[in-house]
Each structure stands twice: as structure tokens, then as C-alpha cells.
Amino acid sequence: MYKTLLFTLITFFTLSVMAQHHHDERMYCSKARFYDEYLKSTKNIIQTPLLNDYDVKFYFLDLDVQNDAVDVSGEVTFYAEVVAEELDTFAFELLDEMTISSVYINDDLLSVYRENDECFVALTNPLSEGEMFTAKINYGGTPPTGGFFSGITSVYDSWGKWVTWTLSEPFAARDWWPTKQVLEDKADSAWIFLTTDESNMAGSNGLLTNVTPMPDNKLRYEWKTNYPIDYYLISFAVSEYQEYNIYAHPEGLGDSILIQNFIYDVPGCLENYQDGIDQTAEFIELFSELFSMYPFHEEKYGHCLTDLGGGMEHQTMTTIGGFSFGLVAHELGHMWFGDNITCATWNDIWINEGFATYADYLAVQFIQGQSAANSEMNSIHNSVMSQPGGSTYVPEDEVTYDNVWRIFDSRLSYNKGAAILHMIRFELQDDDLFFEVLHTYLEEYGGGVATGLDFMNVLNNVSGMDFTDFFDQWYFGEGYPTYSIAWSQDNANTYLEISQTVSMPSVTPVFKMLMAYKFFFYDGTDTTIYLQQTDNVNTFMLPIDKEIGLIQVDPENWVINKVGSITTRIENNNSVRFAFGPNPASDHLNIDFASDTQMMRTISILDMNGALIISLKSDQQHVSINTSHLAGGTYLIRAEVATSQYNGRFIKID
């Protein structure tokens, strides 16, 4: 970040205009301050508390899969530790449509009771807290399919190949394998063995440790990961693939990182996507420098090409439908934010999607350049402000099985989430500090889960600042501010009255935050100052005596905001004291006189050589002048009453 001037105010004071203040601190509930109590009152998406009686250490999926059907069968093994005082019932999740042929707990064959996609196995010999146990579930069937969030999908791709893939986020892992859909319980490791026809290849998480020939002309692809992994990040994709491998070389690793890609074995397919795939190495090297070393560097990163409309960040092996710059960068960014650190609740999906979207922005900034990054952030802001409300934090009553698209709302979870990080970076006014926050966050929560407030606490601790109000406003709150400015000058100072209106005043009455203002002077120079907005109306006196031609709000587009009016006040006797705007003007210029006395005033517009362009007389308090026919440039505006004459300047834009 480049700062023109961090301005030290000589005088600062705030106007407390009651009609413009819409909040009372005694009644304004801070979710950030009272988050623990808030969570206790919410309903959890987990149906049965019995799922919390054990902690999964290891999953072993040994499955038969096909490239042209969603049928799946095999055995899934849980290796887990009892964390309840006693485990007398083992619970897991699997769709009713799937058939369970047997369940073994520590080699004891037991019966299973099923209700609403939940499965309950009563133990003959209950287990005590701290005991380890193994549960083996043999099952099979044809899961339902259709739609982006189907647990498993099979299609005939436009490249002329059948392909089957899984997508378990957020609640669909149970569609295709017996599982425990609890975000906080990551398995320490997992094996995913996939048996398929010998014409296919099957991709999954971790390292491909072996390809074993099996009966009936089949092959078993044996994938193993030794990193913590959440239930919805376990995946597979199977098709008639070819393998294309490249390597990344991030600084400080002393070794290379495998980028393993399964691409349809069709002439022209690899060539079509190769440039996009190859750029993955540059992304890994950049993110390893900005965030921390690629978190799964002892295994790999890679892609399985499918017919998915977008991508899904399956740990170490993204399932993807194409290789555009933004998509590849976004899904890779998830390896740090979403996979290494996973949201602790679906309410806090920002931990995944907001951070990955900002990773895409950073890739644009550092690889394509600041101009392209500015364009991307402008699009993000426009998306956020296309509607007046909505919080990035997903309210508890909106996290439901039939409302998945609210969790993954592109405007709120992705774009507003990314913009929040951009604004935090602006508030810190120190890029090194911003990336230190990310490093510390990854160090403290890597391999686990986190909430939005876990990140806020790291941010507060590393920066030494308090972002509680910021999170109340931008993370839990709704809407965005609009800034208007009325300004005047004398021989020594510039006076600003900065008014902030908000799009959702009943939810977020004011955004207390830093804002940048760029002053353009008539001598051709400019400067940028940074002022803290603390109320709906703030007034500042600045030691600026150079004649101002234009004031620009948020010149580098750091903050989600709109700009209202920017008007100049001529502070003289009441009969001709006036404000005018907008400045710059396009097709009209509005003039408001401070006095409502019906005195005839002469209003003139002149060019900078003093030639008269427009002249009119009016005794009205408000006057609007058509300026659409004026050429672009700087003009004088003059008001005269009797023998008094007062002047200002404005800029006309085409």
C-alpha cells in the first residue's frame, strides 16, 4: 500500500446532531462482544448429539466406483476415540437410500437402527472415555443426484468422456459414504482406495501410493493423506484420464511441490488447458510467500477435470471444470483458507470463501498488476452494493439443509467477505502487518477450525488494535455507508463536515472507520489525508490553506461505500453565503443560499479568463443551473447582492 500522507489533525471535533444520529450505545447489541452467549441460543445443524461422543482419528474408504454411474459400494472404517463418559451407541450418517449390509464395532457384528439418514449401533459392551475403537461399515447403492451440491454426479462430458465426481460440501458426504458431518472433528489422516475399470484413472486426496491390479480387469488407486482433513474435503473423481504433472518451487522449501493433474485423455484437451494449469505453480509460489508455505507440501497439489460448473477445493486435489486465472487461484487459496484452516461453523463460511476470494484478488494484484486489481475490487464492491443489506456472517436460522445457496451467497460470503479483508488491510495501513496477521492466524489454527471471531482475536493481538466495532459493522452487520462532504476554506484552514448515511440504519446505524480523502489543488498538486469517522456527522478543521479544486472520497477504492454530494460552502454574510454542488458538475449545478431572505441575487458563471458564460437573477433559496452545454474545465461561480460579491470555483466534466 502506498500512502501519500497520514495526516495529523491539529483540531478535531465532532458535531452531535441528534436528528442525524440513529443509534444508542446502550441498546446497540454487539455480537462480537457477546458471541459466546449468542451461540448458546442457536440451533446446531447436527441432528443427534451422539455424534459428539467420539473423535475420529482415521477414515479408510475402500470403494468400488465407476466413471459412468453414481453407484458406489465398499467398506468404510472409522478409527476413533471415545470422548464421552461412556459410548453405548455409535452414531453415523448415511442416506436412507443406501443399503448397509453389515456394521462391525471392534470385530463384533452388530445391528443398525436407521432414522432420517442417521444410523445408530447399540454396543454390546459400552466403551469408556479414552478408549479407542474401530467401526467397519459395509454398504452400497445408488445415491440421488442432480444439481451443483449433489454428493456424487456422473455425466457424459462435452469432451466425449464419462466422468463421475463427488462434492460433499456442506451436507452431502452422507450421500455417498458413511460419515460424521461435524466440522470440528477433523480426521488426523485418511486412506481413500478406489477400484475402477482399468481404462479409468481415479484421483483423490494425498499421495497416490500404489496402483494395484484387481480381478475382472480392474485397478485399485490407493491414496493416502497424513494431514488433518474434514469430512467434506474427502473426494474422488474417476474418468478416462491422462496424467500431467508439473512442479512448484517456493522459496524456503528446499524441494519442489508436485502439481498432479488428471485431464481427459482426449486429443486437444490437455493443450486447451495447459497454460492455465501451468500457472498453478506461480500461484503456489506467490501464496507461499504471502501467507506461509503451502500447507500440504509433503504430499501434493493437483486437479481432477470434471464437468463441474466451477471448482471445489478438495484437499490437495481440487475438482474443477476449467482453468481460468481466477478459478485456479481461488481454489488453490482454499488450501490455506478452508482446508488447512476450516470454518468451525457454516455460519462462519467467510473463513473459507471470503479468504479464498481475496487470495484471487491478491493473485491479480501481484501477477497481473494494480490496474487489473483495481478493476476486480471495483466489481466486488459493485456486487456488494447491488442490494442494501445482508451480513457476511450467516444467521443461524439461514443455515439449513434446504438453503445451501445462502451459505454460498456470492455477494455476501465471497465478495463482501473479500472486501472485509481488503478493508482490514486498509485499516492497518501497513501491508507487512496485514500479512503478519495472516501468518500468525495460520500458525495458530492450521490443521484445525476457526470462527470469524477467532480471526478477529488474532487480528487484535497482532495489530494491537481493537476491531470489535469493525466486526460488528461489517461481519455481523449489514449495509454500507454513503459519504457526503460540505467544505469551506479561509486563509489558514480548511473546514470539512463529513456526513455518513447508511443503507441499513436499523441494523448498522454507523460505520466507525478510517476513510481516505484526496485533495486536488488549483496549483496542480494533490495530497491524501486519512480521517476517522466516528459518527453520522463529523467535522474537521485541517491546516490546509492551498486553494482546493476537488475532493475525492476513497481514491484507491479500499472501502465499500458510495459518494453522495460534495459541496463548497462560501462562508460570508447571510444574504449571499451559499453552498454549491455537485463539484465536479456534469449536467447541472445546484446552489443553496444560507439565508431564506427573498433578496434578488445575481448569479454568474465565468470562465477562468473572466468572460461571462451564464448570468441570471433569482430571489429563491435554491437555484439549479443547466451546465450540460459547458465544455469541460474550471469555472468561476459568482453571487452578488447590492455591493457585495462572492466567488467560488467548480469543475465541469463531460
2 inside domain: yes
The pLDDT tens digits of the residues spanning 576-611 come to 567 788 888 889 999 887 666 678 889 999 988 778
Domain end position, chosen among 556, 571, 586: 571
Let me know whether 463 and 555 are in one domain.
Answer: no
Let me know whether 459 and 355 are in one domain.
Answer: yes
DSSP annotation of 368 reads: I
pLDDT > 70: percent of the chain: 90
Let me know whether 637 and 652 are in one domain.
Answer: yes
Let me know whether 507 and 591 are in one domain.
Answer: no
Let me know whether 468 and 491 are in one domain.
Answer: no
16: domain CATH number is 2.60.40.1840
pLDDT score for 577: 64
Does a cis peptide bond (omega within 30 degrees of 0) precede residue 228? no
DSSP annotation of 364 reads: I
Domain end position, chosen among 550, 571, 592: 571
15 inside domain: yes
Q: How far, in Å, CA of 606 to CA of 570, rounded?
A: 17
264 inside domain: yes
Count the domains in the chain.
Answer: 4
b/e for 121-160, b at 16 or more Cβ within 10 A? Answer: bebeeebeeeeebebbbbbebebebeeebbbbbbeebebe
452: domain CATH number is 1.10.390.10
533 inside domain: yes
Element (H, E) at 193: strand 189-197
CB distance 256 to 288 below 8 Å: no
Residue in the structure block whose three cell numbers are 477450525: 449
Let me know whether 565 and 635 are in one domain.
Answer: no
Residue 143 predicted with pLDDT over 90? yes
Let me know whether 498 and 546 are in one domain.
Answer: yes
Q: How far is CA 560 from CA 20, 111, 375, 483, 529, in A?
A: 21, 57, 14, 11, 18
Q: How far, in Å, CA of 218 to CA of 235, rounded?
A: 20
68 inside domain: no
Q: How far is CA 2 from CA 64, 125, 439, 472, 561, in A?
A: 56, 67, 22, 28, 20
Let me know whether 364 and 320 are in one domain.
Answer: no
Q: How far is CA 606 from CA 110, 591, 612, 651, in A?
A: 94, 15, 4, 12
114 inside domain: no
Pick from 363-377, 478-492, 556-570, 611-625 the range whose average pLDDT is largest: 363-377
Let me know whether 567 and 584 are in one domain.
Answer: no
49 inside domain: no
Residues contacting 533, CB < 8 A, separation 6+ = 481, 498, 500, 510, 511, 512, 513, 514, 515
Domain end position, chosen among 474, 497, 528: 474
Which range among 10-19, 81-90, 368-377, 560-569 shows the weakest confidence by mean pLDDT? Answer: 10-19
Let me know whether 553 and 464 are in one domain.
Answer: no
Let me know whether 453 and 544 are in one domain.
Answer: no
Structural domain that includes position 274: 242-340
195 inside domain: no
The pLDDT tens digits of the residues spanning 364-411 come to 999 999 999 999 999 999 999 999 999 999 999 998 877 899 999 999
